[in-house]
Structure 1
Amino acid sequence: MTSKDIYLSFSLAPIIGPKRLRDLLKVTKTTDKAWSATALDFKKIGLSGESFGKFAKFRGEFDVKTYLIKLKQKGVEIVTQEDTDYPDLLKKIDSPPIVLFTKGNKKLLNEKSIAVVGSRKTTSYGREVTQMLVSDLVRANIVITSGLALGVDSVAHRSALENRGATIAVLGSGVDCCTPGENQGLYNEILKNNGLIISEYPLGAIPTKGSFPARNRIIAGISQAILVTEARENSGALITANEAVKQGKKIFAVPGSIVSVQSKGTIELLKGDAILVSTASDVLDELNLKSVGLSTKSSFGNLNLSKEEKKIVEALESENLSVDEVVSQVKIPIKKLILILSELEMRGLIVSSGGKFGLKM
């Protein structure tokens, strides 16, 4: 068995999780010896003879080659902590997954990423601010990470795709199982558009009560920071935020109405150490990511743009604008402006989202 095979086998074995494997490797020193561990080795890490018996039974019955064939048939790859694709940030958390099961573009795992999370039930305000912030973040070449849940997660993933950005969905189930089922279309769109689906759970695994908090540590773990756009007082997004705090990462939150139950969670975060956000620049500046991929006038110097097109592009350099806002800046008649905007969008130079236009970089 290769080292990768052994990591995969441990990820599926009973009794052994990330922390126990780490302890076992301290005792045995190598993956080969860990897989051949004895009852005495298990005793050294605080596990009983009964626990060893369950592990030994699995070890004797499990056929890793057969499982690898199943993974290949489903288009699933694995990434272990020894692989260069394994996220550097994730290695630093307290209990990094033994294996990541991946479907899609695994190169995204080490790109600059921000987790955008929130409640499953959203208001029109929550949806609008999520769309606005995500559209501007992807313009800065930031990968959007979330959990494929209903509500803010779905809006974040969709907004990234609509703006031709990259997105990672972290599941609390196996990567071959879309949960919730209502998001099967979104799941497919993520894969179709060079995105990534990941999980630490094996093929066919269905969510349990504990799988979502565990999933949230991965969302936080692969991201530079967490952005909570709208959250109730008991939202699971707050668990993700707490995980980020444990990992020493910054929390950003969008202020909402003090009379809305949908904003109670974000208000509580802002009473603590969360940083108030009203624009994507608040996040990018705080993380020193402003220079990554943001548009500059020189970016369009080699394009054959008319004088009016250049005016529009320059107006959209600093922020996304509505049609009325563009009109007020460039002084082009609205009917003509709409035609030019449509042409620029067809050429792939600008994108529209949430009633506003922005540059596509």
Structure 2
Amino acid sequence: MDEETAYWVGFSVFPGIGPVRFKLLLNYFGSAKNAWLAPAETLKNIHLGDKLTDQFVDFRKKFDVDDYIVQLEKLHVSVLTLTEPKYPTLLKQIPDAPFLLYIKGHKNKEPIDLARTIAVVGTRQVTHYGVDVTQRIVEGLVAYGFTIVSGLAYGVDAVAHQTAIDSGGKTIAVLGCGIDIIAPPSNARLYHQIAEEGVGAIVSEMPLGLRPNNGLFPARNRIISGLSLGVVVTEGADDSGALITARNAAEQ
């Protein structure tokens, strides 16, 4: 990993700076390194505010990026920044595209075709009908060469991922937590299958160790829809996260 990318990684761990603020920093300072090393007064002058600047200055004193990178390597996790050619073209087009993605899928035998991706999402409380519909739709999409994107949750997500694998296709699981966290634990086998058997990739913008919570799912959902040409909701309530993902897709 080069020095500049390491600074991108550092910013991805600090909770107060997301895509919008990071873009502001990058435009002002010209590089993540310059932004990371900037004096506190300069940071305050570009509208980060006193409180956030003080929190960041304290964070960068304590954070050991080299140790963090070693952790990533041990977990076989790679990173992809917004400026790299391999960054997903569709995702780059959304207004708040993640400036850094963590990716786990180190044994892929063939590259994943990110130009042909469809998200399949739905309720966690999936019915027998929902399982059947999800399986049929995913089997058809895989037959036409599409990669299946979902969120590795209970219910429809898990069915979509597993059906894609069983049908000989590829699948991408987007997490609403750190890439080292398996949530729910009951999907551990599926997580490892995707990450280690050359059938897809695990993706997250969240730093290592961050546990899932409801506040993180909208951010995850925008990545699911942003990675995809379209979103299929096979079963879901009117106020479900799946329909939020579909609305994201329409807006993107």
> If the length of structure 2 is used for normalisation, what is the TM-score?
0.92
Deviations 1:290-344 (A, max 9, x none): xxxxxxxxxxxxxxxxxxxxxxxxxxxxxxxxxxxxxxxxxxxxxxxxxxxxxxx
Distance apart, 1:84 and its partner CA: 2.2
Distance apart, 1:122 and its partner CA: 1.4
Question: Residue 29 of structure 1 aligns with which residue?
Answer: 30
In 2, Cα distance between the equivalents of 1:18 and 1:174? 17
Letter in 1 for 2:120: V
In 2, Cα distance between the equivalents of 1:218 and 1:189? 21
- Which SS does the other structure have where 2:47 is aligned? coil
Distance apart, 1:198 and its partner CA: 0.8
Q: Is the 8 A contact 2:113 2:147 kept in 1?
A: no
Letter in 2 for 1:210: G
Question: Residue 211 of structure 2 aligns with which residue?
Answer: 206
Deviations 1:85-105 (A, max 9, x none): 211111111111121111105
Matches within 5 A, 1:334-353: none
Q: Is the 8 A contact 2:117 2:228 kept in 1?
A: yes
Unaligned 5+ runs, structure 2: none
Question: Residue 306 of structure 1 aligns with which residue?
Answer: none
Q: Is the 8 A contact 2:78 2:104 kept in 1?
A: yes
In 2, Cα distance between the equivalents of 1:153 and 1:45? 41
In 2, Cα distance between the equivalents of 1:236 and 1:213? 8
In 2, Cα distance between the equivalents of 1:164 and 1:208? 32
Letter in 2 for 1:205: L
Letter in 2 for 1:224: L
Question: Residue 48 of structure 2 aligns with which residue?
Answer: 47
Q: Is the 8 A contact 1:28 1:41 kept in 2?
A: no
Question: Residue 219 of structure 1 aligns with which residue?
Answer: 224
Letter in 2 for 1:11: S
Higher RCO (CA 8 Å, separation ≥ 6 residues): 2
In 2, Cα distance between the equivalents of 1:190 and 1:36? 38
In 2, Cα distance between the equivalents of 1:148 and 1:14? 23
Distance apart, 1:109 and its partner CA: 6.8
C-alpha root-mean-square deviation of aligned residues, in Å?
1.7
Letter in 1 for 2:153: A
- Which SS does the other structure have where 1:165 is aligned? coil
Question: Residue 134 of structure 2 aligns with which residue?
Answer: 130
Distance apart, 1:71 and its partner CA: 0.6
Unaligned 5+ runs, structure 1: 248-361
Question: Residue 156 of structure 1 aligns with which residue?
Answer: 160
In 1, Cα distance between the equivalents of 2:196 and 2:24? 40
Question: Residue 116 of structure 1 aligns with which residue?
Answer: 120
Q: Is the 8 A contact 2:126 2:155 kept in 1?
A: yes
Distance apart, 1:220 and its partner CA: 0.6
Distance apart, 1:151 and its partner CA: 0.9
Aligned length: 247
Matches within 5 A, 1:53-92: 53-92=54-93
Letter in 2 for 1:221: G
Q: Is the 8 A contact 1:171 1:199 kept in 2?
A: yes
After superposition, the Cα gap between the structure-2 partners of 1:180 and 1:109, relative to the gap in structure 1 and judged at 3 Å, is: farther
Which of the two has higher C-alpha Rg? 1
| Aligned-residue identity in percent | 44
Deviations 1:222-277 (A, max 9, x none): 11111111111121101111211220xxxxxxxxxxxxxxxxxxxxxxxxxxxxxx
Distance apart, 1:78 and its partner CA: 0.9
In 1, Cα distance between the equivalents of 2:36 and 2:67? 18
Q: Is the 8 A contact 2:4 2:31 kept in 1?
A: no
Matches within 5 A, 1:194-273: 194=198, 195-247=200-252
Distance apart, 1:111 and its partner CA: 4.0
- Which SS does the other structure have where 1:210 is aligned? helix
Distance apart, 1:26 and its partner CA: 2.1
Distance apart, 1:130 and its partner CA: 0.9
Q: Is the 8 A contact 2:165 2:171 kept in 1?
A: yes
Q: Is the 8 A contact 1:87 1:109 kept in 2?
A: no
In 2, Cα distance between the equivalents of 1:102 and 1:145? 14
